[in-house]
A and B are shown apart, each in its own frame.
Chain A
């Protein structure tokens, strides 16, 4: 199987913009050290054509940053994100997106659609500007993609504020599809929607995948959702992948203690009248990504941690980055 998406040791660091006072202090040599956030810390992964990879983690783990680098809208600090072997972004001091083959669907459809553009223009702007269709074909093209996402073609004449959250997310998906992408990066695409609407949009993704053979990276903090849509899952913690593998296997018997703890901490629907709680919280706080702990980032919250874990960062081997991986449960 060929990889459509590949990242090689991709890393992203953000520096805090120094204040004016700080800049002056630095000029005279009295400034403090620059604070850097390692949002993504050397990640290599590949996604095969037609595959859906779920990217899971808590806020600040770098899942959105990784998604944006793969989509070619954020230049990596190190390493490269490749689409079919070609970097998603050009090099140089002002890197630009080099491919239209990967498109993004964002979390908040109230922020991702231009409120002053008609829906038809929102959908057709990209393909016309990139020469995928002629300007004369724009209306028919918009109608086609609106139909694909389950909206009436008459929506093309209307404005975003005339639609509900679920409908707007359909429009955002139509806009992504109109670019004829091979892959979609979906960043929490249903997190801002109501439960009954979430199911509608999840079903739409499943249908699109079936009918268009799309490759997808599905970024979410919702474990049951990721389990539902993904073939493979990568669990991230503070900029690194701690576990990656077949979705069924990971949810049935996780090998990294963080994955196990994350699964245990999500409350399950309790159907009985018993007093059992059905969830176990992870102890401790998520450390600041400004100042991640040395060694394994999870060691301070891990009950299996020993001296080695505090010093040496474990390498991702065999799908898990842990000095003391949990045993696989017998099938």
Chain B
């Protein structure tokens, strides 16, 4: 069985005055139908640009310079904007971080939802409104019939994000890329959205790529985890296995730096230094300058190693693995 989404050696670069910024540089992974994959990294890791690349949302000075992105067997890299527009919203959708900028402020919720439907099929207004109402109810919006006439500014941040999710679900896409969809929300609202997304993905059979910097949130949802650093995947595999025994020192460092991993008042285990500039990456492993395990071998790029479902790119993985 082939995967729903197959990304191979994706490289998305940006031209800048200080040189080529290699935001995504040689990323390969699969997403299966109905699977929830967590894509984790810090700012500058390339997680959002990976998501944008999948939807063909890379604008100049950025460009996909190499690699392949196949959705349901169809190559997306190189498609015209017109062809991409037919896919976006239909087979593949995105939920953005900030719901207050993702919705059009001068159109009512109903109008925006009707437009999203009409872009892909001809449907009567009554039928469109009914689908919109059903979905608003499904994402937990009270009195959905009334909300169709509301404008985004009349809704709270959590409600707006629910509307954005409902719009993403309208055409029943097979994949939704969610870019930090709960980061801008309060803790109690975040939990509601997480629970709803999990149930929706299950009920609709939709695969999710959940982009986040927050390991705890991702662990509540995803079954598989991909950790990115400086434009590359450093580790991937089943989420429980990675969190219990990470193989890449960067994953270990991310986990150790969480306050919940230390006794109250004790020093947190910090990762020294900060991420290198993407325009000026060190040769070899990009994490080496911050890594306590680094030695001369790390001056060469670590090859990808695989062991069953787990993969990592490190010359000195943290546990002995069968050769």
Interface residues of A (CB under 8 A from B): 58-59, 164, 166-167, 194-200, 202-203, 206, 221-225, 227-229, 247-248, 261-262, 265-273, 277-283, 285-286
From B243, B259, B275, name the one whose CB has the most chain A CB atoms within 10 angstroms.
B259
In the complex, what residues of B have CB within 8 A of residue A247's CB?
264
Chain B CB within 10 A, most for which of A167, A199, A247, A282:
A199
Interface majority SS on B: helix, strand, loop or mixed?
helix
Decide yes or no whether B187 CB sits under 8 A from chain A.
yes
Cross-interface CB contact of B257 among A164, A196, A267, A268, cutoff 8 Å: A196
* Segment 231-279 of B: residues with Cβ below 8 Å from A: 238-241, 243-244, 253-255, 257-260, 262, 264-265, 267-272, 274-275
Question: Is the pair B194, A267 in contact by a Cβ cutoff of 8 Å?
Answer: yes
Q: Which 6 A-B pairs have the closest CB atoms?
A: A199-B257, A281-B191, A265-B191, A267-B220, A228-B259, A194-B42
What is the number of contacts between chain A and chain B, taking CB atoms within 8 Å? Answer: 131
B264 touches A227 (CB 8 A): yes
Q: Which residues of A contact B215 (CB under 8 A)?
A: 195, 269
- Check: B216 CB closer than 8 A to any chain A CB: yes
A-B contact pairs, 30 of them (CB 8 A): A196-B42, A197-B42, A197-B274, A199-B268, A200-B271, A203-B267, A203-B268, A221-B187, A222-B259, A227-B259, A227-B264, A261-B188, A262-B188, A266-B187, A267-B219, A268-B216, A269-B255, A269-B258, A270-B219, A270-B239, A271-B219, A271-B240, A277-B198, A280-B191, A281-B188, A281-B191, A281-B195, A282-B188, A282-B192, A285-B189
Cα(A24)–Cα(B238), bound, Å: 64
CB-defined contacts of A278 to chain B, threshold 8 Å: 219-220
Which of chain B's residues has its CB closest to A285's CB?
A: B156
With a cutoff of 8 Å between Cβ atoms, the chain A residues found around residue B195 in the complex are: 277, 279, 281
Q: Which of B43, B159, B194, B267 contacts A194 (CB 8 A)?
A: B43
A272 & B240 in contact (Cβ 8 Å cutoff):
yes
Instruction: Determine the chain A residues whose CB is within 8 A of the CB of B272 once the complex forms.
Output: 200
- How distant is the Cα of A278 from the Cα of B195 in the complex, in angstroms? 11
**How long is the Cα–Cα vector from A271 to B220 in the complex, in angstroms?**
10
Residues of B participating in the A interface, judged by any CB pair closer than 8 Å? 42-43, 156, 158-159, 186-192, 194-195, 198, 213-217, 219-220, 238-241, 243-244, 253-255, 257-260, 262, 264-265, 267-272, 274-275
**Bound CA–CA A149/B108 (angstroms):** 50
Distance in angstroms from B266 CB to nearest chain A CB is 8
Task: Give which listed residue, B156, B188, B214, B264, contacts A248 with CB less than 8 A.
Answer: B264
CB-CB < 8 A to A224: which residues of B?
258-260
Q: How far is the CA of A156 from the CA of B304 in the complex (A)?
A: 43
Instruction: Give me 7 other A-B pairs in contact (C-beta within 8 A), A198-B257, A203-B270, A285-B189 excluded.
Output: A196-B271, A199-B257, A222-B259, A265-B187, A267-B217, A268-B260, A269-B258
Q: Are A196 and B253 in contact (CB under 8 A)?
A: yes
Chain A residue at minimal CB-CB distance from B156: A285
Instruction: State in angstroms the CA–CA spacing of A227 and B216 once bound together.
Output: 16
Q: Are B270 and A200 in contact (CB under 8 A)?
A: yes
Contact B240 A285 (CB under 8 A): no
Which residues of chain B come closer than 8 Å to A200, judged between CB atoms? 270-272
Contacts of B192 in A (CB 8 A): 281-283
Chain A's closest residue to B261 (CB) is A269
Q: What residues of B have a CB within 8 angstroms of the CB of A285 in the complex? A: 156, 158-159, 189
Contact A195 B240 (CB under 8 A): no
Whether the pair A194, B213 counts as a contact (CB closer than 8 A) is yes
Residues of A with C-beta under 8 A to B239:
270
Chain B, residue nearest A225 (CB): B259
Bound Cα distance from A282 to B220, whole angstroms: 16
The reply to whether A270 and B240 contact each other, CB–CB distance below 8 Å, is yes
CB-contact partner of A195 in B186, B258, B267, under 8 A = B258
CB distance from A184 to the nearest CB of B (A): 17
Task: Please indicate the chain A residues that have their CB under 8 angstroms from the CB of B219 in the complex.
Answer: 267, 269-271, 278
**Nearest CB of chain A from residue B180's CB, rounded to whole Å:** 13
A267–B219 CA distance with the chains assembled, in angstroms:
8
By a CB distance below 8 angstroms, the chain A residues around B240 are: 270-273
- Write out the residue numbers on chain B whose beta carbons fall within 8 Å of the beta carbon of A198: 257
Q: Which of A261, A265, A273 has the most CB of B within 10 A?
A: A265
Whole-angstrom distance between the alpha carbons of A265 and B188 in the complex?
6
Indicate if the CB atoms of B156 and A269 lie closer than 8 Å. no
Chain B residue at minimum C-beta to C-beta distance from A229: B265
**Complex: how many Å from CA A59 to CA B219?**
24
Is the CB–CB distance between A58 and B188 below 8 Å? yes
User: Once the chains are docked, how many angstroms separate the CA of A199 from the CA of B260?
Assistant: 11
Output the least CB separation between A70 and chain B (Å): 23
Contact A271 B244 (CB under 8 A): yes
Determine the distance from Cα of A195 to Cα of B213 in the docked complex, in whole angstroms: 7
Q: Contact: B189 with A286, CB < 8 Å?
A: yes
- Residue of B with least CB distance to A265: B191
Report how far A46 CA is from B137 CA in the complex, Å: 46
A76 CB to closest chain B CB (Å) equals 25
Give Cα A59 to B270, complex, Å: 28
Complex contact B259–A202 (CB within 8 A): yes
Cα(A227)–Cα(B213), bound, Å: 20
Inter-subunit contact B243/A228 (CB<8 Å): no
Docked pose: A228 CA to B264 CA in angstroms? 4
User: Do A206 and B259 touch across chains, with their CB atoms under 8 A apart?
Assistant: no
On whether the beta carbons of A58 and B187 are closer than 8 Å, the reply is: yes
How far apart sit A109 and B282, CA to CA, in the bound complex (Å)? 27
CA distance A228 to B258 in the complex (A): 10
Q: Within the complex, what minimum Cβ distance (angstroms) separates B323 from chain A?
A: 26
A228 contact set on B, CB distance < 8 A: 259, 262, 264-265, 268
How far is the CB of A78 from the nearest CB of chain B, in Å?
Answer: 27
- B191 in complex: contacting residue of A195, A269, A279, CB < 8 Å: A279
* Across-interface contacts of B259 in A (CB, < 8 A): 199, 202, 222, 224-225, 227-228
B301 CB, min distance to chain A CBs, angstroms: 22
Complex CA gap A195/B259 in Å reads 10
